[in-house]
Amino acid sequence: MRRQDDCILYQRSTGDLMSEQKLLILKNLEKEYIQGTARIHAIQHVSLEIEQGEFLVILGRSGSGKSTLLSLIGGLEQPTKGSIILNGQELGQFSEDELAILRRKEIGIVFQHFHLMEAMTAIDNVELPMLIAGLPRKDRRPWAIELLNMVGLSGRGSHYSNELSGGERQRVGIARAMANKPDLIIADEPTGDLDSARGAEIIDLLHDINQKNGDGSWAPTIVMVTHDVGMLREGMRVITLSDGKIQSDEIFDGDYERFDPLGNPSVVTGVSYNSDNPAVQDDDETNLNIS
Ligand code: ADP
């Protein structure tokens, strides 16, 4: 099994990234939860390949399995069946500790509720993952300043969380997610705590980061969960989920009318991911799938 030295992260070059075509491969994923006597099939028969540099949106109603799929992609949860291969490494082979090291280096996480350390300034929040990953002190501050500039917070580094607006806090959260230059950033409803204008700004920022990072040398793949069609941007790859299954997989062409406000895949008329598996017409809001 490959265990990486902390330094490798900071030595990675664009050329290295470009040569690795598939960032992530999901093969026949299943995720079941047991709740009392009920078995909940949160994810069913999901296979997916994500290329370096993609911006993938997982869209679906509440209970459709979006967060579960994102947790599997981010190595935060283990599948009941199937395999997840990140940068050629099968996650199932790793112990919990090894997975934690891998996540720290290769995956950045943006949370709906920001999860900033309240007792720390914005810049210290951004530096924290670098500290944990062992980046030398002399390198941490300049990179944190650069990251805060990148997310539009230059000069705000000395502010504490309670001195920042929701949108600014999420910008710090995004800068923190980029701290260790991860190949992958996962974001679960990153605009869920923001008004629509601030939310749109955050999406545009993530989109920019995905397209081209500030110094041009590194741009993360982004996988984002949302139930809000308004958060789609042209060129994003959109996967719709229903009952834990992929219903469609297409590049968003800017036509918002084809999705209902909750991303209900039953109205998606784009290329169907699996023609044997027509979109579910169920209007049940919770969409529980219990056997
Ligand atoms: P979404 O993010 O689309 O709202 P989730 O992935 O959170 O959906 O949930 C998918 C299904 O799995 C739902 O039926 C939910 O109740 C169930 N579920 C999610 N997490 C757990 C858990 N830890 N234990 C039991 N059931 C869960």
Burial of 88 (0-12, 13-18, 19+ CB in 10 A): exposed
Return the pLDDT at 187: 96
Q: How high is the mean pLDDT of the chain?
A: 83
User: Which secondary structure element, helix H or strand E, spans residue 47, and what is its range?
Assistant: strand 38-51
Residue 278 confidence (pLDDT) above 60: no
Return the pLDDT at 261: 53
- Please give the span between the terminal C-alpha atoms of the chain, in angstroms, as a whole number: 37
Sole residue written with tokens 């199932």: 92
Whole-number Å distance between alpha carbons of 54 and 221: 5
- pTM for the whole structure: 0.83
Residue 17 confidence (pLDDT) above 80: no
Give per-residue pLDDT as tens, 241-257: 999 999 999 999 988 88
Please report which confidence band the pLDDT of residue 262 belongs to, taking 50, 70 and 90 as the band edges. low
Please report which confidence band the pLDDT of residue 167 belongs to, taking 50, 70 and 90 as the band edges. very high
Residue 18 confidence (pLDDT) above 70: no
Residue 163 confidence (pLDDT) above 90: yes
**Mean pLDDT within 197-211:** 92
Give per-residue pLDDT as tens, 50-95: 999 999 999 998 999 999 999 999 999 999 999 999 999 999 999 9
Among 239, 281, 257, 269, CA closest to 60? 239
Q: Which residue of 32, 34, 35, 40 sits with most ligand 1 atoms within 8 Å of its CB, as the best mutation to test the pocket?
A: 40
Residue 5 confidence (pLDDT) above 90: no
C-alpha of residue 285 to centroid of ligand 1, in Å: 13
Position with higher pLDDT, 212 vs 158:
158
Please report which confidence band the pLDDT of residue 4 belongs to, taking 50, 70 and 90 as the band edges. very low
C-alpha of residue 158 to centroid of ligand 1, in Å: 38
Return the pLDDT at 256: 85
Burial of 156 (0-12, 13-18, 19+ CB in 10 A): middle
Token digits for 251?
């590049």
C-alpha of residue 60 to centroid of ligand 1, in Å: 12
Whole-number Å distance between alpha carbons of 211 and 216: 9
C-alpha of residue 68 to centroid of ligand 1, in Å: 6
Give the CA dihedral 210, 133, 18, 148, nearest 10 degrees: 30
Please report which confidence band the pLDDT of residue 173 belongs to, taking 50, 70 and 90 as the band edges. very high
Return the pLDDT at 21: 67
- Name residues whose C-beta falls within 8 Å of residue 99's C-beta, 6 or more positions apart in sequence: 75, 91
Please report which confidence band the pLDDT of residue 48 belongs to, taking 50, 70 and 90 as the band edges. very high
Return the pLDDT at 181: 92
Pocket of ligand 1 (CB under 6 A): 33, 35, 40, 42, 60, 62-68, 288
Q: How many Cβ atoms are within 10 Å of 250's Cβ, its own excluded?
A: 17
Give per-residue pLDDT as tens, 102-125: 888 899 999 999 999 999 999 999
